[in-house]
Amino acid sequence: MSLVVRACGDGSLPEVKTIACAAHVDARGYLSETYKRSTWRDQGLEFDIRQQIQSRSVKTGTVRGLHFQLPPFAQAKLVRVVRGAVFDVALDVRTGSPSFGRWVSAVLKEDGLDQLLVPRGFAHGFCTLEPDTIVLYACDNEYAPDHERGVRWDDPAVAIDWPLTTMPAIVSQKDAGLPLLADLAPCFADEG
């Protein structure tokens, strides 16, 4: 397995990684190994899958997020697109971190084989760029509803540059009601 690991976006949040996986291509298509614990550890990446989640978004412009979980159920997420494309975002929510409130993004596509590794202490969300998009994310901890938190996707202080200039966002009622970053209780204070 061959991996290319690099900081996401402009590198301002080096903890968030884009991971490109090699593909073996022939006349049938391709085969790509997207995760192998020993290879990841050789690259200095610690990530053990405890849960996998798949979402399907029917329409372009669907926004999911920005979600995270509090300790002791905090989650790192490994995100990849199975079909379609997304504008994927990681937002630093670690109280006391010098990069608190900053975000990075990556465009993930089904044919790109890139994955985004979002560490614990970061909220995650995405906007679909194509209809009928399927996203698969592996988590290193299980879903714990009592520890689930989030930040409103359109928080003006965070100012994420969502690719929604020609369409309205499609957002769940739950996500639309998430608090602004400034209204979050302190979290991940020891991890900044």
Residues carrying an active site annotation: 67, 137
Nearest to 120 by CA among 146, 159, 145, 147: 147
Cβ neighbours, 10 Å, residue 94: 21
Answer yes or no: are the C-beta atoms of 63 and 175 closer than 8 Å.
yes
**Amino acid at site 44:** G
